[in-house]
Structure 1
């Protein structure tokens, strides 16, 4: 196909290709005119401190607080408090987005904590699988209401899986299409979508390196509540 010559072995990725795909995906997010969506959906291109390998981190609020001040305070806490392994911290100005651009903040200047800032959220991460050489989606729940365990398959189905996907996911195996294993960076138990069927799904598409993760998320992410804003589908060349 027309664009497959961009890849050494389509649809598989080596480390360099995956890093480039991550950079293009992050660029789409930075340049997209998202408006208020940036307040509930945040993307970061990060690196693992020990290996230097790239990965994508996506934060999405599970529900919006009733008061706007609580949303702003919560975003400040999340913006400074998660994912310390990155080389560069990128955050947003959640109060004023006149130019709709990412605002850089000092990673050593952590915002203050307020007890009213806690809101349930999901953290997605996209890592390159070392064996399958395909992106793999990892996800964890955070700050659920008191008494609800975050590492719990029922909670994943309750908070993330849309109704139309639940039966099919549960029918795919003992634990359904969602598996659990030590996180590839933290080694803490986390959930992931196994990439064993990704090759067959991606082979049906002809996409550029710029579009690779957009297409991949469309195939893999929707079953666990991950969609990218439509504004990110606009070509980065048109920005």
Structure 2
């Protein structure tokens, strides 16, 4: 019988089990989707975490080099996921998402950065707003709104400079998002990705979510 989680919090053991299960599901179904490049479980300093990698996509206005005035006009429009697409100039550039368990908050925490051999995407707030945060989340990220705020920090396991979504609002968001009282660990992790990842371009592929 699978363990179930009855609150918006998760234990370390359930988090580890969920990471293993998502990695297994990706290995089985990766050819049914194109959003994610890899899903791997890593261990560092006796800590297990999940790493998801996906191609860097950019807004059409950025990819085509619109003027600042045109870009500002587009930002007033409702955000459309179809306006995100891979740019030829970004071929080989990936976004690395690390999902790490927080013992103090008892929820997963998302750390992420852009990997580029040409070092064109430094870990700065300008990079964050220009290439990673969808337009409808921009004001929330800047003002630490409903998603909790997105800032620069040092990765807790690698010490490299990365972006992260602060977990202060995670429990409230998960509490409002869950549709049933009890979830298995993998259902919890999928719910968390769906609720927290979209603000920085991490969306759960349908092929992994299907039963």
TM-score higher than 0.5: yes
1:141 equivalent in alignment to 2:135: no
Q: Which residue of 2 aligns with 1:41?
A: 37
1:63 offset after TM fit, Å?
Answer: 4.8
> Is it true that 1:6 corresponds to 2:4 in the alignment?
yes
- Provide the TM-score with structure 2 as the length reference: 0.72
Report the equivalent of 2:205: 229
Q: Quick one: distance in 2 between partners of 1:16 and 1:136?
A: 15
Query: Which stretches of structure 1, 4 residues or longer, exceed 6 Å deviation after superposition?
Result: none
- Separation (CA, whole Å) in 2 of partners of 1:45 and 1:122: 16
Could you say which structure has the higher helix fraction?
Answer: 2
**Structure 1 range deviating more: 156-165 or 211-220:** 156-165
Q: How many matched pairs?
A: 173
Which residue of structure 2 lines up, in the alignment, with residue 107 of structure 1? none
Change (3 A) 1:28 1:169: same
Residue 50 (structure 2) pairs with residue 56 (structure 1): yes
Q: Deviations over 1:208-236 (max 9, x none)?
A: 2221111001110001000121111112x
Say if 1:33 and 1:155 are closer, same or farther in 2 by CA, change over 3 A: closer
Aligned to 2:104: 131
Distance 2:113 2:93 in 1: 11
**2:9 counterpart of 1:15:** no
Secondary structure of residue in 1 paired with 2:138: helix
Partner Cα separation in structure 2 for residue 36 and residue 213 of structure 1? 19
Q: Which runs of 5+ in 2 are unaligned?
A: 59-89
Which structure 1 segments of 5+ residues have no match? 65-116
Q: Which whole-Å CA distance do the structure 2 matches of 1:15 and 1:177 have between them?
A: 24
Deviation at 1:153, TM superposition (A): 1.0
Root-mean-square deviation (CA, aligned residues, Å) is: 2.6
Tell me which protein shows more strand as a share of its residues: 2
Alignment partner, residue 169 of structure 1: 141
